Amino acid sequence: MNDDQKSKGANKSLPLFYNDSFIVSFVIILLSSILLYFTFQFDIVPPILNRGIQPATFPKALLILIIFLTIITYLLSLKNSWKKQKKLPTSFYLTLSSFILFILISKFLDFFLGISILSIIVSFFWGEKRILYLLLVGIIFPLFVFIFFEVVLGLRFPAGIITNFYYS
């Protein structure tokens, strides 16, 4: 028995809620159902202005199609279970968290500070411990990008503690 078969077998023996196909299908159907609910809140166009179909009809049809296809995918997975995925490593969660940190810093402090901090965190947790290289990815490269976009493309970046200093 090869590794793939082993992992498939392992996935099949898992309880329902730990099964990838169940979780993924459940999430898709749940999100689609929420969006479907929202389509019922769309404004209705009076018949005289309505061209063809109501604005909500097309998204509704798409969401119903997604739900229908997801149910089929799940039923098919009962026969041929999905390959069991490996557990995600810590480096993934750290990278994902750095995205959230970037959003917070870019919103409340500074856009480029956000890029610098994310770059340093990602590089460091992916194994880069040399200060020079961390400075390269965290300060020198973002600075180069900033100047390039600012000078060559004439772009104005959002206000922030560092960008304000530059613009003033």
Residues near other proteins (CB under 8 A) are: 20, 24, 28, 35, 38-39, 42-43, 45, 49-53, 55-56, 58-59, 62-63, 65-66, 69-70, 72-73, 76, 82-83, 85, 88-89, 91-92, 94-96, 99, 102-103, 106-107, 111, 115, 118-120, 122-123, 126-128, 133, 136-138, 141-142, 145-146, 149, 152-153, 155-158
CA-wise closest residue to 58 among 49, 69, 47, 50: 50
CB 96 within 8 A of CB 73: no
Min CB(65)–other proteins separation in Å: 5
The CA distances from residue 127 to 100, 119, 120, in Å, are 21, 12, 11
Min CB(54)–other proteins separation in Å: 8
A 10 A CB-CB count for 67 gives: 18
